[in-house]
Structure 1
């Protein structure tokens, strides 16, 4: 099995997101992002909705709470247990299904709305994921995405981690490219209409300083955990990455531990 073998890549990608505790990131750091996406997409009763790369349901659960018939899909089903507990506590029902964003197990034009909140952007092959996103959306149906931008905090965090990470497989693209307007236009093309691209900021106020941010992501955020795991035998590089992540967060601190993390809000209708 080669490094670029699709099955091997899928296994490693799934394992990365099972590291740490992504549900803690979703519920403690960015709890409002999913609700924002559901609101702007006007999701409600009578709609069949797919959340791609749903994780623990940051967007899927608000969509179900709005009355939609929701499928939460993700390559890493280990994240579903936390999502199911959250959904049960809120008294909402939805389906949870293991699925690869680049090869979705759904029929053409099956869903009235297809959404993803900082999820589909992490599928390594952007064109394949975009093709599937469009394929399963009904003509005239809603597409809604929230993606971290390359120039925003999370994009810069990935840029900071890149020199310490193993090289990506051939053909894989950086996740924050999904937060670049030109890239999104090229991925969706004339297959969508009414394309809206709006930069917004998530207000983050749960870290007192850069070191606290670093330690939280080092423990809980799968991609960060994976990078530290890759350099576990290199104490000098660990010390350097520790310093650079804390410094990055400190530069984005607006005072009293408040940060703004930029994302691109993408809305569109699938063309007929």
Structure 2
């Protein structure tokens, strides 16, 4: 029989590993150079308005939190990795907006039930290791009648293919951990949210990325900036043949997707309403 304390300790170690991984490289640089518009896309899809209470889960450096604050909402940006939030505070200051930053685990949020009008996540909650636990939390903290909004990479899109390419070079995940790109599958998200939401709208869209003229530029940028890629290369650093193989496979993936000076990265934009009678409050 498994000792409950062992499970708690294992989960703590897993979250520490995730926290460390996202502090590697320079994710804020990636977010600002490659995906800056996605935060605004999500804010608009959620219909964020002045006076609303908004929670951005796994907010990183504020790609969606800052546009939500610029729309006049009262925003809480939560993330597991303090280093990302430090950059977010600076960027928010430069943007002239004030929001609250809270270190928080997406699977155990430190907020009460139904306290937010909008709960959203832009390429963030998908990386929580236990999907159902994370989904339960984002529903729990949203008020009845409130909005849930998500942007996630799809399994079949470029980033999903990149994770599939890196998988053979990664250590095996602990039991119960699910792959992040599953959050980019409408059926999977609908199953996670269940009948606790209504009015689900799911749209698959493309993000045009034109920052890389050659496949090698993409690979080297991700090796330097993207935490999961940095972590994979650290894992195989003492195996030069595997490093060379991964180098070749990532470059080949980019080469297959580079067309007319850019790449199209597919993502799922999903919004839903928390089921139940809406409480009196700002809309």
Match of 1:260 in 2: 264
1:77 CA displacement = 1.0
Q: How big is each residue's C-alpha offset from its partner over 1:53-106, in whole Å with a ceiling of 9 and x where there is no partner? A: 000000000000000000000000110121111111110110110000000000
Match of 2:35 in 1: 30
Alignment of 1:270 onto 2:274: yes
- Paired residues of 1:148 and 1:178 also in contact (CA < 8 A): yes
The runs of 5 or more residues in structure 2 that have no matched partner are: 1-5, 277-283
Q: How big is each residue's C-alpha offset from its partner over 1:178-219, in whole Å with a ceiling of 9 and x where there is no partner? A: 001111111011000000111001110111111100000000
Mark the CA change 1:106 to 1:162 in structure 2 (over 3 Å): closer, same or farther: same
**Equivalent residue for 2:129, pick from 124, 127, 151:** 124
Secondary structure of the corresponding residue to residue 163 of structure 1:
helix
RMSD: 1.1
Q: How big is each residue's C-alpha offset from its partner over 1:151-175, in whole Å with a ceiling of 9 and x where there is no partner? A: 0000000000000001111000000
1:2 CA displacement = 7.8
Alignment of 1:14 onto 2:19: yes
Q: Distance in 2 between matches of 1:186 and 1:2?
A: 25
- Paired residues of 1:4 and 1:169 also in contact (CA < 8 A): no
Q: Which structure 1 residue ranges, 4+ long, deviate > 2 Å from structure 2?
A: 1-4
Q: How does 1:30-109 map to 2 (within 5 A)?
A: 30-109=35-114
Alignment of 1:5 onto 2:10: yes
Q: Distance in 1 between matches of 2:9 and 2:86?
A: 30
Q: Distance in 1 between matches of 2:183 and 2:257?
A: 21
Q: How does 1:98-247 map to 2 (within 5 A)?
A: 98-247=103-252
Q: How many residues align?
A: 271
- Paired residues of 1:3 and 1:9 also in contact (CA < 8 A): no
Mark the CA change 1:215 to 1:266 in structure 2 (over 3 Å): closer, same or farther: same
Secondary structure of the corresponding residue to residue 32 of structure 2:
helix
After TM superposition, the structure 1 stretch with the greater mean CA deviation from structure 2, 244-253 or 1-10, is 1-10
TM-score (structure 1 length as normaliser)? 0.98
Q: Distance in 2 between matches of 1:202 and 1:92?
A: 26
After TM superposition, the structure 1 stretch with the greater mean CA deviation from structure 2, 166-175 or 79-88, is 79-88
